[in-house]
Structures are given as structure tokens and as C-alpha cells.
Structure 1
Amino acid sequence: MESQLIHTVELGDWALSIASLNNHGIVVGLSDGSLNLVDSNGGFSKINAHSGCISTLTNVDKDNVVATAAADGVKVWDFRCINQGPVSKFSNEKNVPFLSLDSKHGLLGAGSELEGTDSEIYIWDLRNSSPLRKLSESHHDDITEVKFHGTNKDLLLSGSTDGYVNIYDLTFPEEEDALHQVINFASIHSADFLSSSRIYTLSHMETFAIHELNDKSTDLKEPQPVQFGDVREPWSCEYVVGIYPGYVACGSNSQESLTLYPFQDEKVDTERRVTLKPAHGEEIVRDVLLKDSRIYTAGEDSKLKIWQNSHWPVSDETPNAEESQTSKDENTMNEEYRKFKNHRKDGSNEQKSKKKTKDKHSSRFKPY
């Protein structure tokens, strides 16, 4: 099925990242450092947010507040008082650009570009500009992804172009001890917790996999993942824009199209697709957002496009099926995880999985 294009908003520079605020509209981050607030009819207003490209933005809450990451730091914006500037600013000691960002549980986490031999992850309490935590020893290239666990505030995920996805247990004060699980995959385009106990990884080479969160108290060996391999042929695309709650978005520049497939229960339904043509022409689509009856797409043609979504009862608010199960499964997982933490704290001599030397892979395109 094809979706109808409703509005095209000319923004003046690459549109890289999208968020939705219930009380205000759609927020778009641009490569010129501006934030753009777009209403349902395609009208927009611009805020000069950063001195350079906005790497990414994320919701702090669903109604009024977003955070943005760029070369000049991380800023938090409350759209109830947007004309007064950012309500908070965060930076790092080296003044290195931040590339990745997430906010949950009253916390803000950001990953940096490589500077010297290490890249860094900073974690802040939103009420205080001083960092709660810095992780600087576990990645050795640009950190392209940082994600908090949806329900467990003590778990943090990071992904990097060094080929690794790391899971940290933030209850351990030392970084070496906090490194709970290492996934050796490939140069990471994106990664996240799919559910309470599963993680996905998507590489810049368009390979995709689903991994188990290691929560066993007696076995620290990484469980075998579900490997999808290179998904370009089975998903009929040239690149994957992203993995979103309830769907995947795939682009084809040569076909000037964007295709959305339902993604539930770790399965991609390639038979029930929604196609957006001409998408963003021959330019790359950088982000997608489903909200109510609309599909929003941002691209390197400097446009935000608004499409009619009349085919799927799905939006970015839709949880995966596993997240919709009863709290019994969640409680069971959390209890197993607590036992695992206690086991480690009691002086276990088990050794963590060691990272193997791996060549750096070239990126399809930089996330910034």
C-alpha cells in the first residue's frame, strides 16, 4: 500500500532527527544547529539551538521537553518557555562533540566522538549539571548509540563504530565491574533494548541481529543471537533508516522510496508493507516518526514530509508484544537479575567476556 503525501516542509538544511511533543507538535533537529517546531499543517518556527549540527534529539518527556546533542554540548529545551533558551546545559571535559543521546528515569546519557584513544559516556541527573558518572574505558571509537533500559534504571546500553555494544550495570562504581555484557557485532548504526530481556543491533553494513540480555547468575557467556544477516535483499532496500517500536523503516534511493514493515515478536512482516513514494527522492531518509494518523519523515533533501497513515494501527507509542505481557514475566526477570547482581557482588571469580581485536568498518553514512 502507498501512503499519500500531505505536506512538504522546506527547512533549509538537512533534517536529521524527529521527536513529538503532545502539547506543541513535531520537533526536528537540523544540520545547521537549529530546532524546528512543525505543526500538523506544515507551518514551522525555528530556534537557533546549537552552533553546529544537531547529532540527535530525544524526548525528556512526552509533552513539553526535548534534549539535543551537538559539538557544543547537550541542551535541554522546555517548549513552554522556549524563547528563554535552554533550561539546562551539559558538557564534557574535553569539549568533544556528543553523537548519541537518551533520557529516561530522570537521567540523561550521552556518548561522544572519539578523542585520542577513548570515547566517553556521560550520565547526568537532569536536576544537576555535574555528571553522575563517566564511562571512558569501554569504547575506542565514536559512540553512536546510548540507551537506558525501559524499566531497570540500573542498566545502560552503548554502541560504537568500534563494533561493540556494551551493557553496563550502573550499581557497580568501577567501570570494569559495571561492564555487564559485551556484544561483538559490527560498526553500530543503532541498538536498543527491544524488551526487558532482548537487545537489537543494526550495523552500518545493514546487518541485523537480536540478542539475549545476559542475566544468568552462573553463566557469563554471551547467548547466541538470532542473526538476520544483511537485510537489504529480504527487506527490499538499500539501507535501513532505523528500528522503531512496532516497525522498521527501509530506504531505497534508486527507487526513490521508503518502506515501513511491521515488526512484532522479533519478526518483520514483509508482506504487510506501507510504501512512501517518492520519499525524499535520491537523498537519504534520516529519521521516521509515526504519530496518530500521520507519518513524518526527515531527509538530507532538507525537507520534513508529512504523510497520511491510514493503513496501520501503529505509532511510536506502540510497545512490542513482549512489553505488553503481564508484569509477572517482568518481575521474574528482575528477580533473576537481582540474584545475578548479588552473585557478582559476593566476590565471584568468574571472568567477563573479553573483547577481540576487530577491524573498524567504514560507515554507510555518519550519524552526524
Structure 2
Amino acid sequence: MHTLQATAASSLSLPAESYIYSIAKSGPGSFAAISSDDSLRVFDAANLDQVTVVSAKTHEAGVTSLRSYATGDSQLLVTGGREGKVKLWDVRAKKAIMEMETGTNSLTTACLYPARHAPVLSVACNPENNIIVSGTELLSSQAVVAFWDIRSPQTPRLQYVESHNDDITELQYHPTRSNILLSGSTDGLVNVYDTTIADEDDALVQVINHGSVHHAGFVSERTIYALSHDEQFSIHPATDPDDAAQDPEPVHFDDVREPLGCEYVVQLCVGTQGPYLAAGNKAQLELVPLVSTPNWRFDMDNLWRLPGAHGEEVVRSVYLDEQSQAVFTCGEDGFVRAWRPVDGASQDVQGPASSAKVQRPKEKKQKDRFKPY
């Protein structure tokens, strides 16, 4: 077991009693945060108190999601909101890279509307193909995965409307294949699509039945994870229709709260050191390595502990920043915190945000859930 210590903390000058929902990379040395006051703020990784308010009111009915739209030197961010809009932000200019007729007086955002203005709960970005994707709340018996080409955003380029029958809580692109998209929903399904196929039935290349999805995504090119709202966790092979070899069986960890000694799971974090499951309680947050050899398991001997975490408040988001070799967290206490290995830690021990991949030493042989916003 190793320890990270909090080296900095900031409220980002938010109003009292604000929650910070999520943080995402904004640009070199900077991060973005969305919070319960509906603002979008950017802060410096080296000085958390150096804060820029990109928008004091990101969405009219409440901001729900945040992703980085990384392209060259541009600092672009995408947010989703409950009023049914997706907004693309230019951080440096603090204004839109495009303007549309939205029916409001907004001059600082470009708004992309999914069908019927259903609340947007999740977003994903594919700058390689100029695509932004939104996933909606169930409305009029439909939950929609809508694809927008930012070069002509007036109408969706593509929509999948039948694959989910409840709120779409997660969207993520494949790490190397820009045509493969994953979605997760409270209907219990994790779907994988080939987005080059317009027909929805044909586009659906894999379906995983897991339980109400809190988070899901790619652990690697050939591996998918799913985490439910009641802390059920599982690992699945990503189906390759071009590979005739038989896929390995999925690994079901079931409810991980007891084996991990936690009250809730925040998310899975993937870095060059491998994947870590961020598990928390009122006393601490732990980053538990998930290893695949000889079988998928949690490496409890090499976990990283963040003592105190965010006090008695829930941690909402964790980011492993390999540029600054720090871990950033945010939570319902309204603070962002930066964490680094304690002074005097062994130089042979790589932190969870270290950029160099190291070989793990061989093991010695020895005889109340919060609701998502």
C-alpha cells in the first residue's frame, strides 16, 4: 500500500455549498470543472487558485456533462445540459467557435440540439472526424444517441433511437478505432456501435447486459468494463467481428464494496501504469490497481491511498494527470484537490499518474449510494 498526500486544494471561488461534478483536461497544464452553480471554470494545474470563469451560466436548466475536445493547440470543451443542448466552448476566447439561432440571447456558445430537446446526460468527442455525440434522458419513450458534425451542426448527422430504452449515462469512443462508440444506460445495457453504419440494427456490434450503468468504457483496445449504480463491476472482451477466435468469458466481480472496503465507487481511471478503480468512503479514497495476470483481479497490495479524501463528502471525479504526475479529485465538498506521493517515497515506486510504464514485481508466494446528478 502506498500513500498520496494532498498538496493543494481550492474551491475555485465557487459559491458556498457548491458541488463540483466533474473535471476534465482543458489544455496543457490546465483543467476544466463543472459544478452545481452551473458554471464552467478553468483552473491551473500548478496553482489551483488561478481560475478563469468561462461561463457563469453554462446551461439554462443545469449542466450535466463535460468532455475535452482536444484538437491541436485549441482549447475546446463540450458540455451537455438538461435543457437539451450541447455546447462547444473556446476556452481562450471565452466564446463560441460558431453561433447558431438558439432562440435565446446567448452570444457565448454554439448550441447543438438533440431530438425533441430531451435532457442531455452524456457526451463524447471525436475530433478526428469532427464529431460530437450526445446521449439523452428517456423522453417520449425514446433515449437518443445523436451524432453532430461541427462543420454543419444544424441537424444531427446520425441518430440511434432504438438501442436503449432508458437514460443514456455514458458515451465513450474506442481508444484507437475512431468508428467504434460505446454507450451505457440505466436500462442495464452497454452497447458498442460501428458508427460508419447508418442502419441502427446493423451498426450494433455488441451488447452487454450488466445492470443500471453508472460508468462504462474501454480498459484497452480489446477489453470493456461496466460499473453499475449499485457498485456491480465486470470486465468483458470487446467483440471483434473480423476475428474468428473465441472470446474469453467475462469476469463478474459483483458488488465490490465489501472486497474493496468502500462505500461507493467513483470511476475507473486508465493511465500508462494501467487501470485503477477509484473507491471511496468517509475516511479516504483508494486507487486500486486492476491487473489482468494471471487473471483479472484487484491488486490490494499496491493500492494508492488518499487519506481524508474530501472529508465526509462524496468524491465525484478523479483525473490521473501524467503531465504533472499528480492526481486531481473533486467532490461534493466544493473543492478540487491535487495529490502527489508523500515525501521520501521510494524512487522505485511509480505513482498512479507516472508517465513511464514499469514492470510490476512478481508476487511472493505466501502460505449508502449517492444518486448521479
Q: Which of the five TM-score ranges fits, normalised by the shorter chain?
A: 0.7 to 0.9
Deviations 1:122-153 (A, max 9, x none): 11123221311111111111100111112222
Q: Answer yes or no: is the 8 Å Cα contact 2:325–2:355 preserved in 1.
A: no
- 1:241 shift after superposition: 0.4
Q: Which residue of 2 aligns with 1:9?
A: 10
Instruction: Measure the CA separation in 1 of the matches of 2:225 and 2:5.
Output: 31
Alignment of 1:267-282 (within 5 A): 267-282=297-312
Q: Which residue of 2 aligns with 1:81?
A: 93
Instruction: Measure the CA separation in 2 of the matches of 1:258 and 1:233.
Output: 15
In the alignment, is residue 124 of structure 1 matched against residue 148 of structure 2?
A: yes
SS at match of 1:131: coil
Q: Answer yes or no: is the 8 Å Cα contact 2:350–2:358 preserved in 1.
A: no
In the alignment, is residue 315 of structure 1 matched against residue 315 of structure 2?
A: no
Tell me which moved more, 260-269 or 57-66. Answer: 260-269
Tell me which moved more, 223-232 or 143-152. Answer: 223-232
Pick from 260, 270, 274 the counterpart of residue 287 of structure 2. Answer: 260
Q: Which residue of 2 aligns with 1:30?
A: 35
Alignment of 1:287-366 (within 5 A): 287-291=317-321, 292-309=324-341, 312-315=350-353, 364-366=369-371
Q: Answer yes or no: is the 8 Å Cα contact 1:259–1:274 preserved in 2.
A: yes
Q: Which residue of 1 aligns with 2:166?
A: 141
* CA spacing shift, 1:316–1:182, aligned 2, 3 Å: farther
* CA spacing shift, 1:76–1:167, aligned 2, 3 Å: same
Q: Answer yes or no: is the 8 Å Cα contact 1:114–1:141 preserved in 2.
A: yes
- 1:260 shift after superposition: 1.0
Q: Answer yes or no: is the 8 Å Cα contact 2:115–2:144 preserved in 1.
A: no
Deviations 1:172-223 (A, max 9, x none): 2211221111111111011112222211111111111111122246989986
Q: Which residue of 2 aligns with 1:95?
A: 117
Q: Which residue of 1 aligns with 2:346?
A: none
**Residues matched between the structures, number:** 325
In the alignment, is residue 249 of structure 1 matched against residue 278 of structure 2?
A: yes
Instruction: Measure the CA separation in 2 of the matches of 1:269 and 1:137.
Output: 39
In the alignment, is residue 209 of structure 1 matched against residue 209 of structure 2?
A: no
Q: Answer yes or no: is the 8 Å Cα contact 2:26–2:42 preserved in 1.
A: no
Instruction: Measure the CA separation in 1 of the matches of 2:62 and 2:354.
Output: 25
SS at match of 1:280: coil
In the alignment, is residue 58 of structure 1 matched against residue 67 of structure 2?
A: yes
Q: Answer yes or no: is the 8 Å Cα contact 2:114–2:134 preserved in 1.
A: no
Output the amino acid matched with 2:313. E
SS at match of 1:259: strand
- 1:315 shift after superposition: 2.8
Instruction: Measure the CA separation in 1 of the matches of 2:183 and 2:358.
Output: 21
Q: Which residue of 1 aligns with 2:217?
A: 192
Q: Answer yes or no: is the 8 Å Cα contact 1:244–1:316 preserved in 2.
A: no
Q: Which residue of 1 aligns with 2:365?
A: none
Tell me the C-alpha RMSD between the 2 structures: 2.6
Q: Which residue of 2 aligns with 1:160?
A: 185
Q: Structure 1 unaligned runs (5+)?
A: 322-362
Q: Which residue of 2 aligns with 1:337?
A: none
* CA spacing shift, 1:298–1:203, aligned 2, 3 Å: same
* CA spacing shift, 1:279–1:207, aligned 2, 3 Å: same
SS at match of 1:290: strand
TM-score (norm 2): 0.80
Q: Answer yes or no: is the 8 Å Cα contact 1:144–1:367 preserved in 2.
A: no
Q: Which residue of 1 aligns with 2:47?
A: 41
Q: Answer yes or no: is the 8 Å Cα contact 1:264–1:320 preserved in 2.
A: no
Instruction: Measure the CA separation in 1 of the matches of 2:193 and 2:358.
Output: 23
SS at match of 2:196: coil
Output the amino acid matched with 1:118. Q
SS at match of 2:201: helix
What percentage of aligned pairs have identical amino acids?
A: 36
TM-score (norm 1): 0.81
Instruction: Measure the CA separation in 2 of the matches of 1:83 and 1:155.
Output: 31
Output the amino acid matched with 2:81. A
- 1:168 shift after superposition: 1.2
Q: Structure 2 unaligned runs (5+)?
A: 97-106, 343-348, 360-367
* CA spacing shift, 1:320–1:34, aligned 2, 3 Å: farther
